[in-house]
Structure 1
């Protein structure tokens, strides 16, 4: 969170947003969707939503179309965060506790995540809002200036985030140590860049720390402690036994958890699932854990209150629950179902992605 805040303070994300030049409504729908998708795979879905909705407010005047684009951002952020271990809180939880690994998760969930975004985008492209006249951009976007060395800070910050799973794979140490190392490098860099300039204090790490949402961190800590107490009392094991007896199909259980995450916060749901089923029930990288990561990450898109991204969009654009339910929930549900079907189909087909350069024909020379 601190790294993202520092990059944002330097206007580093302008490197991404300045390259969005199209004003065709239908094309802009797809561009915004996939920019958010890949941005969220590196950042968290909440930060990606805030960045992209802020961009939309400068690109598109207030209208139904801008609300629709904001809804696309929510769906894209949740889909993009599901296929990498650092893109969503729930995926990160599963990764840290050993239920999933980086490479297998990215290979297994990338295609379902793309499908869960592409289906809603295709359906939204048929709506009247996406087939209107070209949009005029605001002059605010070009008037904002990037802070000194903003490009360097963006590159180092992005590298620090991507470095975390690599650090864990190389050293076997906890991921937070890799994140702290990346933050330390960025701290030294920003102090060196802005040394002696009192007007740039807001661009340094101490000021960034004061802007971090610590209440959210404490909220997640409270949830994990509460779930831990339920696990210690044996209640979660009883619930797991009940589900196994009444819903013998693990895929249905994972899908149901995803639907429930549209109403209940996905963090306690995933934490409870981890307490209900240990690695003896489902080993590391089992289909169940990957499906949990996908369903809990994307299921929240079905209702605006189902994810942190949706709640942020609601607050920033003053979108009400029923507008989202009428205009977007059906599209999100279609994408959710299509993503699950894609995942199950891929697991039952004899297909595999290359795990090394030597396995790629045109590189290996075969």
Structure 2
């Protein structure tokens, strides 16, 4: 009965999330509560095993940092500077924000990057009277593609890097970096073509006014500006030095947030800062972790992982490509973190079966899990954060509308990645058991 309850509750909750008739955080939390009431698992299991408090705490810390920094006007400064750089032209602006997001996601992480850039683009689209959806969609898509390129760009990569010591930062750059760059270029061209007509219809009411604006006027110069920028910079440096420092990313983010709260206490009340935190997004994550935890508790995710291996009978090429597509498609439905966690020990078991070269499997898992997150608004952490920030600013992203763009892009990315994996790993290095 537990298996039935877990599957039914997850499917029903997912349908309500897609319908958007009830707040997604309420739906996710209600689904998690039903799992507790039906005894699928106990409250202690939810707290200690299934809710990823590291992710929740990391998001909270970055939201605090961004909300304080926003008070200084720095996002308006960057927005106007970028708008003037491209002379307010919609398509060059789309390209510019895509490049910034992809690079930021590769060398920070995609959640931090979207937290930094979404306030900028929302300020900018409001200023230029442009539709926000094309830019928000571009930020999500390019954040997940950019995060694929490095070890620290996306949580699945971090998990795989921790499980397989020889796959370090340089390894990811060499193996996932090239395909991420190729996919970024192709997808950006497609996005520009898709939105070219709709964005070209939008004209600035007074382009001369934009070019005469002084971005420095929007900065509120004072101690808070320098404190927030310094702490934000130190936090970003901490993220980049994470492999060297051996300090958890969440600890780095929390340290930055607490330091900035202490420094800004006399200028900003902590209560006012906390009011700016996207609590709906945080509680949605908690509910989503509980829903996926139900599937994990009853063995659905683990059984899916093992079925992949059973279906391919241990053949390297079949296993690698099936793993790529399964992780890609599955990651669009639920968060990719639990799936990757279930797959890591299963892949490791193949060593005991005599398979000498497991690298194709690791790269297939990493690429599929990261790229598949673009399919839906709940496929990756960055998606959920962008949706929350957009909704808070009255720029709500419709779940189904996002899917209409996200799913075809994911399928295209997986087709291209299949060719890449086959010719780089499977054709020259394929080894039978």
TM exceeds 0.5? yes
Matched, 1:163 2:244: no
1:86 aligns to 2:143 (yes or no):
no
Q: Which residue number in structure 1 is paired with residue 328 of structure 2? A: 258
1:55-101 CA distance string (max 9 Å, x none): 22211149884211111111011112222222222222222223632
Does 1:274 pair with 2:344?
yes
Partners of 1:234 and 1:125 in 2: how far apart?
39
Instruction: Kindly provide the CA deviation profile for residues 120-139 of structure 1, in whole angstroms up to 9, marking residues without a partner as x.
Output: 21012223124445556799
Aligned to 1:20: 82
In the other structure, the counterpart of 1:355 is none
1:151-196 CA-to-partner distances (Å, cap 9, x unmatched) read 322221111111111224xxxxxx52x76367557756774x55xx
SS in structure 2 of the partner of residue 148 of structure 1: helix
How far did 1:339 drift? 4.0
- Partner residue of 1:180? 251
The whole-number CA distance in structure 1 between the counterparts of 2:402 and 2:416 is 20
The separation in 2 between residues aligned to 1:223 and 1:51, in whole angstroms, is 28
Seen in structure 2, the aligned counterparts of structure 1 residues 68 and 265 have a Cα distance that, compared at 3 Å, is same
CA distance in 1, matches of 2:405, 2:106: 26
Q: Tell me the distance in 1 between the aligned counterparts of 2:147 and 2:110.
A: 6
Matched, 1:53 2:112: no
Q: Is the 8 A contact 1:124 1:130 kept in 2?
A: no
> Which residue number in structure 2 is paired with residue 360 of structure 1?
none
Match of 1:323 in 2: 401
Change (3 A) 1:241 1:126: closer
Q: TM-score, normalised by structure 1?
A: 0.73
Q: Deviations over 1:277-317 (max 9, x none)?
A: 21653779712212211211111213334233334444523
Indicate how the Cα distance of structure 1 residues 334 and 254 shifts in structure 2: closer, same or farther if over 3 A, else same.
closer
1:201 Cα deviation (Å)? 5.0
Q: Given that residues 40 and 80 in structure 1 are in contact (C-alpha distance below 8 angstroms), is that contact kept between their aligned partners in structure 2?
A: yes
Question: Which of 94, 98, 101 is equivalent to 1:33?
Answer: 98
Matched, 1:66 2:136: no
What is the rounded CA distance, in whole Å, between the counterparts of 2:340 and 2:243 in structure 1?
20
1:109 and 1:199, CA in 2 relative to 1: closer, same or farther beyond 3 A? same
Corresponding residue number in structure 1 for 2:161: 95
Counterpart contact for 1:109–1:343, Cα < 8 Å: no
Partner of 2:141: 75
- Please say if residues 45 and 309 of structure 1, whose CA atoms lie closer than 8 Å, have aligned partners that are also in contact: yes
Q: Note closer, same or farther for the CA distance 1:223–1:91 as it changes in structure 2 (3 Å cut).
A: farther
Superposition deviation, residue 254 in structure 1 = 1.7
Is the 8 Å Cα contact of residues 46 and 309 (structure 1) preserved in structure 2?
Answer: yes
Q: Report if the CA contact (8 A) 2:102-2:142 is conserved.
A: yes
2:169 is the counterpart of 1:105:
no
Cα deviation, 1:22-72, whole Å, max 9, x if unaligned, reads: 222221111111111122224443343344332222111498842111111
TM-align CA RMSD: 4.2
Cα gap change, 1:16 to 1:41, in 2 (>3 Å): farther
**CA drift at 1:110:** 1.3
Aligned to 1:129: 198
Distance in 2 between residues matched to 1:111 and 1:313, nearest whole Å? 26
Relative to its length, the structure with more helix (as a share) is 2
